[in-house]
Amino acid sequence: MLKKSIWKKVSYLAIVPVNPKPLVIGIKYFNINTLMGQPLGWLKWPTLIGLVFSALACVVTAYFLAQYTKSFFAERKIPRSWRFILWGVFITAIAEIGEILGFYEWPNAGLIETNLLLLIPHAIGGALIGLGAYFLYKEVVS
Amino acid sequence: MPILEFNIVNPLTYLGPILGMNLLVLLIHIPIVGGFGMAAYYIIKYLKKFYGERPIPKEWQFFWLAMIWGTIHELIEVPILYQWIVGQALLIVFFVIQILTGIYLVWGSYLLAKKYILK
């Protein structure tokens, strides 16, 4: 009984708990002065630069990798490994954009940003990059 | 914002009363962090196998380092999301890791493209 009540209290120790009634889109709550509901102060600009840089880096990387695979394999079929890595990086770029929205909208992040732009693309992107690298290794071994 | 603060937050109740949703969000971090970790692991195995005794080219070294830093980047996002760790120190570390990951990603892929296409 005591254990249960302690656990219940511990469960709600979140500093800025999520909105119990999640919104479909939370863009109106987008605020670069807070991250995960915490006021950023002097870290406002470094945080924004870091997050935007991450998203841009993924977009630019996807572009370079697309150029590389297109030219390197030319007429040959692009192997599964590189297709996976390329798509993985591209989808991760979408997730990094979703991350910016989610972090800055918290605790009122919308369901669309959280799921369709952040969690689902992040999981798919990560899995594709991992599998792509695995296939790359398999291709050289076999 | 504090310099550094640690909190006990239950990830299974953090996002609301629906256990399934909380569990899904928690488990979804396995492919996110694991995917980058798996990429770092298999890329170095691939490079060792492919290049053998020969030196590994710079573009591949950077690409591999990007996967290493990418894994740390994704890993650090978990305590940020669940607010297990809050504070300026964490955000500074996060910023540095983001910049390093981005630089290695872009540099590695640029050198790959440059070596095979742009010359």
At B58-72, the pLDDT tens digits run: 999 999 999 999 999
**Chain B residues with beta carbon closer than 8 angstroms to that of A127:** 31, 35
- In the predicted model, residues of chain B with pLDDT beneath 70 are 118-119
Kindly state whether residue A106 falls inside one of the protein's structural domains.
yes
Query: Which of B17, B106, B117 shows the shortest C-beta gap to A60?
Result: B106
Angstroms from A137 CA to nearest CA on chain B: 5
Kindly state whether residue A85 falls inside one of the protein's structural domains.
yes
Q: Does B79 touch chain A (CB under 8 A)?
A: no
Q: Is A53 left (phi over 0), alpha (psi -120 to 50) or beta?
A: alpha
Q: What is the DSSP string of B49-109?
A: HHHTTSPPPHHHHHHHHHHHHHHHHHHHHHHHHHTSEESHHHHHHHHHHHHHHHHHHHHHH
At B103-118, the pLDDT tens digits run: 999 999 999 998 877 5
Kindly state whether residue A24 falls inside one of the protein's structural domains.
no
Which amino acid would we find at residue B20?
A: G
Summary mean pLDDT of chain A: 88
- Asked if A107 contacts A31 with a C-beta cutoff of 8 angstroms, the reply is no
Task: Tell me how many domains chain A contains.
Answer: 1
Q: Is the pLDDT of residue A132 over 70?
A: yes
Give the domain ranges of chain B.
35-118
**Which domain, by its residues, includes A63?**
55-142
What residues of chain A, 33 to 62, have a C-beta less than 8 Å from chain B? 35-36, 38-41, 43, 46-47, 49-51, 53-54, 56-58, 60-61
**pTM (2 d.p.):** 0.89
